[in-house]
Amino acid sequence: MSNNRINYANHTKTDFIDDLRSQVNEYFKNRNISKFGNTGIKIKSVLMMVLYVVPFVLMLSGLITSVWLMLLFWGVMGIGMAGLGMVLMHDANHRTYSKNQKINAFLGNSLYLLGGFPATWKFQHNTLHHGYTNIDGFDGDIHTTGYLRFSPNQPHHKIHRIQQWYAWFFYTLMTISWITVKDFQQLWNWRDNELFVKSNKSYSKLYRDLIVSKILYYGIALALPIILIPFAWYWVFIGFLVMHIVAGFSLTIIFQTAHVMPTSSFPLPDDSGNIENSWAVHQLMTTTDYAPNSKVFSWLIGGLNFQVVHHLFPTVSHVHYKNLSEIVKKTTRKYQLPYHVQSSFLKAVYSHFLMLRQLGKNMSA
């Protein structure tokens, strides 16, 4: 990722975000509620933890005597793993799960349970993705291997012509990338990034923590099951992969359908690092909501179908996004600004498929 700074315009619709923030503040004040998580988020967190931990404990106990049931349990763990990431870890690392920032810091470390590394995740997500959404060279979420093309500003290769078909396979590898090479690569790549250096420990301590965390994760999540579960090691390893395939695919399609869409813009800064829109308008131009009326789906994925609201108010817990989305919709209309929404998740996935196909045809900025 580039070390250069991005400068957002301070003259385009700046009254929009001031007005919107004022209305959102009034929303919380008039209802006398906190912008942080509530009882609902705690219930969801417990549910996702149960889905992640209970199947694991049952498998280790030796009570599971069918290999197919064991594989099913690993799949359930994958659902719980993705749920913990979206419901608990995501809010905690945005410091919105609780008013108590010590609790947020503690729960943010739940990423270790998923095989990730909090220091690199927070920098990629909170700083790079939220700060520079869809800006190639800055936003880590659209930075891919050469096999995928998520921006019209990225190099085009012949293989991209069919990426709409094979991209889904790579989506299954998301968390496998976490637990193997990605954290190490990011830590190395950001060693000279002043924003990353300022916000974290010394590099020697980060590398030590990263290595120790991976050893502990593999020891508990893979070595221990191989030792205790009464099946051949390769069946246990396959189950471990099933968990990560389910989690990785679930997480990737939730996030990519919010930004790599036909309605999304992919602006580039000029030679001085200037972007033509203000930060708030940039978030509207690069982000999409979906399935706004699906209460169960939204509940399960931690409100991340309201990505526009999340990007405009990353310091507000997801439990408030549904209500805030109505305020955002009304205010964007007032200022004649776009508010991109797909009516259902399936429509969002299909639109993402169409965007992958469009990018595969050498669409340029």
CA distance 313 to 280: 10
pLDDT per position as a tens digit, 337-358: 999 999 999 999 999 999 999 9
Name the average pLDDT for the chain: 92
Q: Output DSSP code: residue 7.
A: E
Name the band, by pLDDT with cuts 50, 70 and 90, for residue 365: very low
Find, among 297, 313, 309, the residue nearest to 347 by Cα. Answer: 297
Tens digits of residue pLDDT in 264-306: 999 999 888 889 899 999 999 999 999 999 999 999 999 999 9
Q: List Cα–Cα distances, 260 to 33, 118, 144, 239, 297, in angstroms.
A: 34, 25, 13, 31, 20
At 184 the pLDDT is 93
pLDDT of 1 above 50: no
Q: Per-residue pLDDT tens for 204-227?
A: 888 999 999 999 999 999 999 999
Confidence of residue 13 (pLDDT cuts 50, 70, 90): low
Three-state SS for 37? coil
pLDDT single digits (tens) 232-272? 999 999 999 999 999 999 999 999 999 999 999 999 998 88
Per-residue pLDDT at 364: 54
86: pLDDT strictly greater than 50: yes
Provide the β-strand partners of residue 342: 290
pLDDT of 48 above 60: yes
CA-angle at 199, arms to 207 and 84, nearest 5°: 75
pLDDT at 4: 60
What region, left, alpha or beta, does residue 7 occupy, with left being phi > 0 and alpha being psi -120 to 50 degrees? beta
Residue 190 confidence (pLDDT): 84
Average pLDDT of the segment spanning 42-69: 95
In this prediction, residue 140 has a pLDDT band, given cuts at 50, 70 and 90, of confident
324/292 Cα distance (integer angstroms)? 11
pTM of the model: 0.92
Residue 328's nearest CA partner among 345, 344, 307 is 307
Please check the confidence at residue 3 and state whether its pLDDT lies above 60: no
Instruction: Look at residue 271 in the predicted model and tell me its pLDDT.
Output: 84
Residue type, 141: D
Residue 194 banded pLDDT, cuts 50, 70, 90: confident
